Amino acid sequence: MGNLKIISNIQHGISNEEGKTKMSEKEKKFDLQERLIDYAVRIIKVSEQLPETKSGKHISSQMLRSGTSPAANYGEAQSAESKADFIHKLKVALKELRETEVWLKIIVRAKLIQPSTKLSPLLQETDELISILFKSIDTAKKKKER
């Protein structure tokens, strides 16, 4: 099993002494894009589990819009025309993630998906993505000021 880990590390980047993979800046950006795409897919799957009621359809529609747009907005940010444009697109992605978090909490409180603990990992991922984008915006602002 140890050899498989070494091979995996070699295939996915340079490993340090602990066998952990170091990623280049380009790989980190790609990783976040992939993570946001995976997040959007998870949101799609949750929306499909919502009941076919008036409230279920409404929440599904709103959450689909807000939960899938961060991946697209992050992709657009990668081709931003300026630092200000880059920051703006990241802010839009962050805003949409925060909205999605609210929809997920409404689903939990309204008990629209049972057991509600099914959504705990997705809420955790939402929090992590919010933190990443918030920090990215902060870093970009500081670089812009220089």
Instruction: Tell me if 5 is assigned to some domain.
Output: no
- Look up residue 45 and give its amino acid: K
Instruction: Tell me if 67 is assigned to some domain.
Output: yes
Nearest-angstrom CA–CA distance, 60 and 53:
10
- The domain of 112 spans 25-145
Instruction: Tell me if 80 is assigned to some domain.
Output: yes
> Does the structure show a pLDDT above 50 at 77?
yes
Residue 122: CB atoms within 10 Å: 19
Nearest-angstrom CA–CA distance, 117 and 140:
35
Instruction: Tell me if 95 is assigned to some domain.
Output: yes
Residue 132: CB atoms within 10 Å: 17
Domain count, the chain: 1
Instruction: Tell me if 43 is assigned to some domain.
Output: yes
Q: What is the pLDDT of residue 146?
A: 75
The closest alpha carbon to 101, from 80, 73, 116, 122, belongs to 122
CATH of the domain at 117: 1.20.1440.60
- Look up residue 82 and give its amino acid: S
Task: Tell me the pLDDT tens digit for each residue of 83-92.
Answer: 999 999 999 9
